[in-house]
Amino acid sequence: MATKQDYQALIARILEHDHAYHVLDEPTISDQAYDDLYQELKSIEEAHPDWIDPNSPTRRVGGAILGGFTPVRHQAPLLSLDNSYQAADLLAFEHRIEQAGLRPSFVLEYKIDGLSVALRYEQGELVQAATRGDGEVGEDVTANVRTIRSIPLRLRRPESLTVRAEVYLPLSTFHQLNDALEQSGGKLLANARNAAAGSLRQQDAAITASRRLSAFVFDVILSDRPFHDHIEKLHYLSELGFRVSPARVYESVSAIIEALPEIEAERIGLDFEIDGLVIKVNEEAIRQELGVRAKSPRWAMAYKFAAQKEQTILEGVEWTVGRTGAITPTAILKPVRVAGSVIARASLHNPDYIVAKDLRIGDHVIIEKAGEVIPQIDRVVTELRPADAKVITVPPTCPSCFEQTYQIPGEAVLRCVNGSCPAQLWKRLTHFVSRDGMKIEGLGEKIILSLMDQGYLRSIADIYDLKDHAKELTEMKGYGETSVNKLLQEIENSKQTPLDKFLYALGIDQLGRASARQLAEHFRTLSAIQQASVDEIQAIYGFGQVVANAIVDFFSSPSNQELIDRLQALGIPKDLASHQSASSLAGKTFVITGSFDVARRQLEEQLTSLGAKVSSAVSKKTDYVLVGDNPGSKRDKAQSLGITIIDMAQYLRLVEEA
């Protein structure tokens, strides 16, 4: 009979073999012997389910199906890097550092085209893994990350720390998966990065396990331990059992630039996709001195490889109607692999673009793609133009409603101006109910389409009349009473949507999520926004004339006005409450010192709009001192008074939570 100690000892033994195999790449036992140990562990767990350790190697194959991913606020922001595309940018980066009187050495690492995650260990046990998300808040993917065999479930020493890793799909695995998909007639994975992202965000961790992802750890985010430099940090990580990112040290950036062609050539031999290199200051003390901007450190820079180009054939053009009536052409290409992705389509933006590029159907074209950037048609190879190449004609009628199309003089966009054009309504409805809008789950694209076909949805506001057709809905194909009730409940709940999400849901041209939120925070109520002039809207930071015009145009259209009236009659949306109750910063006193990337006036406005006060002198009544570059004596005073000192990143977090 195995004891609990035997069980734990067996886990330790198997984890040791995992480390040898997946991290060191030096297996210490045969596969058969490993399987025997693994089976033994499984049988102990079957006999004693109450002993099961969450970090047991058997957990690597996935377990219960998740019902979504829980958001995780990172303990410290996961910064992103500024990009550079040429040697001159790198020299400028070095120059800025030298101007500050600093002489660091530099670490060079591959910029792996994967997915960044934060891994939290307590007493040596993996307790949480979260995606980067927006750098502040990610998603909990612990169960999925446990299946990645190069990520240790237990460290070789019982230390507590949070590290940052890049999860990727090895290229060899990517090709194997695609071969298998091709044979089974499945849809091919476009590129390794998307495949890795898709694999990590599986509700069923068993699927993640089957994708055989891998990972490199490249940084410590939180630890009590001080480090002299980055290389020391990597050694430490390696000692703990992590598979660390390959790194090399250079005395200067010019030495790196000299080595660039050689390093770029290494790319071909790697089993992972890289889209560039990362150059970091090695010394920790110098990093501290250089500091960070709002979202990126001043001590590191990404160097992206030049775009890759491939030649293919333009086989056709597809025209589709968008939410705002814009009819956009898309190039249908003979599929070609560019920079690791299979490209079969590329946006042609508008009719003028087609004329400017002199495109004909049947043309040989050069496709350009750089990293994450959307592929573009670079140019036509006119020398290869076939005799039967066809001129691309602008459709005289809308592909959805067959009404005449218009191109407003001075505007490049081709439009369908039919207010009840089904394609536009469909896109608007889909956008309205989307996650970042009214968040009505259960109203997917296809269901919206069939509800439109049946005549239940002729306007956005009709969504709220669906309850009058509950009986008919229940009789629809693929629908039951339960799902209809659930949908109607979702629709009812969406009436509580706050102003900012509602504004985004309306699908006003040019108005993204962030600006919808700014607009809502500035005006507080829908009626104030409806009455606002172009000038008043432009007074908001970051709002130009184009977006201000689009907002005013939207609210002055009679059909939109009718829609808003119908929705308002239902109590939609919920206006923002007054400052005092809305913001946790109301009544707090801030002092701002030092210089920032944004104008100080904007910071003051933002704080005032949240109900906080901005004072010029530090006193005992001060709640926060926001410190930028080269802070003055106010910082010292705050320190001596024991007042909370925050940097820009912490400030942004406070404001976001306010």
Q: Which residues lie near Zn ion (CB under 5 A)?
A: 398, 400-401, 416, 418, 421
Q: Which is nearer to Zn ion, 11 or 416 (CB)?
A: 416
Angle between helices 4-18 and 31-47 in degrees, nearest 10: 150
Least CB distance to Zn ion at residue 415 (A): 9
Q: How far apart are CA 540 and CA 261, in angstroms?
A: 46
Residue count (the chain)? 658
Q: Which is nearer to Zn ion, 77 or 351 (CB)?
A: 351
Q: Which is nearer to Zn ion, 377 or 398 (CB)?
A: 398
Q: How far apart are CA 431 and CA 571, in angstroms?
A: 20
Q: Which is nearer to Zn ion, 152 or 322 (CB)?
A: 322
Least CB distance to Zn ion at residue 335 (A): 30
Least CB distance to Zn ion at residue 174 (A): 40
For 354, other C-beta atoms within 10 Å of its C-beta total 20
The upper half-sphere exposure of residue 494, i.e. CA atoms within 13 Å in the direction of its Cβ, equals 26
| C-beta of residue 522 within 8 angstroms of C-beta of residue 576 | no
Q: Which is nearer to Zn ion, 453 or 565 (CB)?
A: 453
Q: How far apart are CA 64 and CA 45, in angstroms?
A: 16
Least CB distance to Zn ion at residue 420 (A): 9
**Under DSSP, is residue 184 helix (H, G, I), strand (E, B) or coil?**
coil
Residue owning tokens 């090895």 = 170
Which of these, 263, 274, 479, lies nearest to 371 by C-alpha position?
A: 274
Residue owning tokens 């849901």 = 505
Catalytic residue among 111, 357, 501, 634: 111
Beta-bridge partners for 352: none
Least CB distance to Zn ion at residue 464 (A): 25
Least CB distance to Zn ion at residue 413 (A): 14
CA angle 279-282-286, nearest 5°?
110
Q: How far apart are CA 285 and CA 631, in angstroms?
A: 18
Q: Which is nearer to Zn ion, 294 or 401 (CB)?
A: 401
Q: Which is nearer to Zn ion, 324 or 609 (CB)?
A: 324
Q: How far apart are CA 404 and CA 367, in angstroms?
A: 32
Return the amino acid letter for 457.
L
CB contact set of 652 (below 8 Å; sequence gap of 6+): 136, 294
- DSSP letter (8 states) at residue 186: P
Least CB distance to Zn ion at residue 546 (A): 24
| C-beta of residue 486 within 8 angstroms of C-beta of residue 443 | no
Q: Which is nearer to Zn ion, 55 or 424 (CB)?
A: 424
CB contact set of 235 (below 8 Å; sequence gap of 6+): none
Task: Write out the two tokens for 559.
Answer: 């059909």
Q: How far apart are CA 115 and CA 194, in angstroms?
A: 9
| C-beta of residue 200 within 8 angstroms of C-beta of residue 192 | no
Least CB distance to Zn ion at residue 346 (A): 24
For 492, other C-beta atoms within 10 Å of its C-beta total 13
4 labelled catalytic: no
Least CB distance to Zn ion at residue 554 (A): 18
Q: How far apart are CA 651 and CA 585, in angstroms?
A: 11
Q: Which is nearer to Zn ion, 365 or 414 (CB)?
A: 414
| C-beta of residue 363 within 8 angstroms of C-beta of residue 312 | no
Catalytic residues, by residue number, are 111
